[in-house]
Amino acid sequence: MSKSKIYFVALISIIMIAFLAGGVIAKEKVKIIDGFKVAKGKLAPRFEAETVAGETFNLESLRGKKCVVISFWATWCIPCMKEFPNLEKFYEKHKDTCEVIGISKDTQRDKRILENKLKELKITFPIIHDYSDRIRTKLYPSKSIPHLIIIGRDGVVLEVKIGIKDPAKLPEELERILGDNLKPKPEGEAVKEGNKSENESKSTPPEEGKS
């Protein structure tokens, strides 16, 4: 084999190693903790993921501290784009007592489009770019988006909604569903973490993989 061919093979090998290494790094961005799917009236399935800002979002860490609204969406989803500005309004009003997390299923190659859209809409709540759609398909399955999961401060799922007829009324609808969960927790109140559901007690070991 000539030296040029040896150099060529070596170069291809280096590129493949770099590609595979990148895949390993990507796998660490989403961790599926529970092995059961969402159910109204039950504890929300737990996950941990890296946001587009590079911070770690852990659903379980909010239990007993804040209620949570999870929004599954994508930049190409027109109803999502109508809901998002109103979700931001809700977040700005209640961010001291309620966390909002957007989980985008945009493809990996659309990362720049996603980032530009967030700037355009002036979104301030955390966003997870789950381009393999693992969190939704494994824990919070739905046939379409926008898909909202509304969780009380105790970690129990209060409502699962597929879109809303009038996006302008989304803040009002969330306030209705969350009720007292939006009020500041009284000083000295013990942190409630809810009773472990039968499903959670049987949860599978944490699963890590490509986001």
| Domains assigned to the chain | 30-183 (3.40.30.10)
Asked if the model's pLDDT at residue 151 lies above 70, the reply is: yes
% the chain with pLDDT above 90:
70
* Residue 174: closest CA among 94, 119, 78, 116: 94
pLDDT (mean) for 83-98:
97
pLDDT of residue 10: 46
Q: Is 202 helix (H, G, I), strand (E, B) or coil?
A: coil
pLDDT of residue 27: 47
pLDDT (mean) for 121-134:
96
Segment 114-117 long-range contacts (CB within 8 Å, at least 24 positions apart): 114/52, 114/75, 115/52, 117/75, 117/81
State the pTM of this model.
0.78
Q: Is 98 helix (H, G, I), strand (E, B) or coil?
A: strand
pLDDT digits (tens, 9 = 90+) for 163-202: 888 999 999 999 999 999 999 987 655 555 444 544 554 4
Q: Which residues pair with 50 in a beta bridge?
A: 56
- The single residue listed with the structure tokens 């784009």 is 81
pLDDT of residue 190: 53
pLDDT digits (tens, 9 = 90+) for 68-85: 999 999 999 999 999 999
| Helix/strand/coil (H/E/C) assignment for every residue in 137-163 | HHCCCCCCCCEEEEECCCCEEEEEEEC
* Residue 63: closest CA among 197, 193, 198, 200: 193
- Lowest-pLDDT range of 9-13, 71-75, 84-88, 107-111: 9-13
